[in-house]
Structure 1
């Protein structure tokens, strides 16, 4: 028997090459990733926009108490009371028209409250109601009275006259209410007595035969 010749060897190699080529086509060629391939950077977490700090709301500026006059009566109708406000200050007059009276003074606070004081421990605590009225309490001579005084229009309001008549020191106070009623006291050297009527248009009044002029009382 003859040994296979070179032709047979060549055919065997050709068959082997075809088999390898078929196997490579079936499995496909994979391309290895390069070890130097740059990875896509991970997206940064979104930063929430910082909420701006709330701007503090400025407190509304207080409007100074308007200059005005107020007149009314105590709730028990025992006396009349008048209050006059000028430039943040106040003066008040409590009068029963017979023997009891008191002049009180003090400041008007930014919130419209006022605490006025007078002789012999007299006090008045009140609140301005947006320029329409004054409400509060007044303590005079051991008595405590609630009151409400509405804004007064001339000739209503608070009047006062001081003079010397026949060597006596005269001090008179009048409260003219909106209905024209007058409540007042004249003291002669500290002795109180009911006051004569004044002319509310001019303030003219006669005391012990002498003609005087009462004027609007202000702080």
Structure 2
């Protein structure tokens, strides 16, 4: 009995193996191998991390600017005007002229004591004026009068000066007459009374009367003009 079956099967398997071998040679494919991570040339490819869209817990919300404090309303300065009056003891006269927040004042006893003072006037009407020799006038404007004190040559004088209506007010004249330096100051009160001192080369004496309408005055035979004083 002939055994052709096994022989045929063996032959068929051989042909199949030859066919598969020729197919691999034609396509050149190789079985895939898993790379070793410990090889020197191996690098791990990492996908870029997704950006963090969440706010950092340490970040704080923007701070709203604090409202600016409201500006204090501007106060009206003391009005421009002239004031004249007498000290409480009736020994002297005081006149004050106010212009644009500045003041000039004159204290005079009509004999030998006088002082010109100046300084600023605050919006509330208060003022501290200073003069030569350490003289000081402290006063406050309320309504139509100034109430205050004058400290001069060791004396302390309280005074009240009411708003002056021309020709009342403060006047001054300076000139050189017969080689003498003339400096005169006058306070004209609302009653028409005049209190003043005239200095010739620094020597004081009672001042002659001026014409309250024109300010004209004659000194040592020369006609001068006393003019209103403003700061």
Query: Equivalent of 1:96, from 86, 95, 109?
Result: 109
- Residue pairs, 1:1-219, within 5 angstroms: 59-130=72-143, 132-219=144-231
Q: Is the radius of gyration larger for structure 1 or structure 2?
A: 2
Structure 1: give runs of 5+ residues left out of the alignment.
1-55
Paired residue secondary structure (1:153): coil
Q: Scaled by the length of structure 2, what TM-score is found?
A: 0.69
Alpha-carbon offset, residue 61 of structure 1: 2.5
Paired residue secondary structure (1:120): helix
Q: Scaled by the length of structure 1, what TM-score is found?
A: 0.72
Instruction: Return the alpha-carbon distance in structure 2 between the equivalents of residues 218 and 207 of structure 1.
Output: 23
4+ long deviations beyond 2 Å: 56-61
Paired residue secondary structure (1:206): strand
Structure 2: give runs of 5+ residues left out of the alignment.
1-68
1:17-43 superposed Cα distances (whole Å, 9 cap, x missing partner): xxxxxxxxxxxxxxxxxxxxxxxxxxx
